[in-house]
A and B are shown apart, each in its own frame.
Chain A
Amino acid sequence: MDNRRKTAGKQILDEIEGDENTILIRRTLRSGQKFHYSGNVVVMGDVNPGAEVVATGNIIVMGQIRGMVHAGAEGDESAMVMAFRLQPTQLRIANHITRPPDDEVADSSVPEMARIKNGVVTIESYPAKA
Chain B
Amino acid sequence: MGEVIVVTSGKGGVGKTTTTANLGTGLAQLGYKVALVDADIGLRNLDVVLGLENRIVYDITDVTGGHCRLRQALIKDKRYEGLFLLPAAQTKDKTAVSPDQMKALCEDLSQEFDYVIIDCPAGIEQGFRNAIAGAHRAIVVTTPEVSAVRDADRIIGLLEAAELRDPKLIINRVRHKMVAAGDMMSIDDIIDILAVDLLGVVPEDEMVIITTNRGEAVIQDDRSRSGMAFRNIVRRITGEQVPLLPLEEGGLFSKLRRLMGFK
Contact = CB atoms under 8 A, between A and B. Distances in A.
A31 B157 contact: yes
Nearest to B158: A32
A66 interface: yes
Nearest to A48: B153
Interface in A100-127: none
Interface string A1-43: 0000000000000000000000000001111110000000000
B184 to A, nearest CB: 15
Given A49-B150, A50-B150, A32 B157 contact: yes
A31 B150 CA distance: 6
Contact of A46 (B154, B156, B158, B195): B195
Secondary structure at the B interface, as helix, strand, loop or mixed, is helix
Contacts of A48: 153, 193
B154 A31 contact: yes
A96 B8 CA distance: 39
B151 A31 contact: yes
Contacts, number: 28
B153 A50 contact: yes
Nearest to B10: A31
Nearest to A27: B160
* Interface size class, chain A: 10 to 19
A65 to B, nearest CB: 12
A48 B189 CA distance: 12
Contacts of A32: 153-154, 157-158
A30 B150 CA distance: 9
Contacts of B150: 31, 49-50
A45 to B, nearest CB: 8
B153 A49 contact: yes
Contacts of B154: 30-32, 50
B188 to A, nearest CB: 13
Contacts of B153: 30-32, 48-50
Contacts of B158: 32
Contacts of A29: 157
A58 B44 CA distance: 49
B98 to A, nearest CB: 24
A28 B191 CA distance: 13
Interface string B54-66: 0000000000000
A46 B157 CA distance: 13
A66 B150 CA distance: 11
A58 B160 CA distance: 27
Contacts of A49: 150, 153, 193
B193 A66 contact: yes
Nearest to A32: B154
Contacts of A50: 150, 153-154
B165 to A, nearest CB: 11
Given A30-B153, A32-B158, A66-B193, 5 more contacts: A30-B156, A31-B153, A31-B157, A49-B193, A50-B150
Interface of B: 150-151, 153-154, 156-158, 160, 193, 195
7 contacts: A28-B195, A31-B154, A31-B157, A32-B154, A49-B150, A50-B150, A50-B154
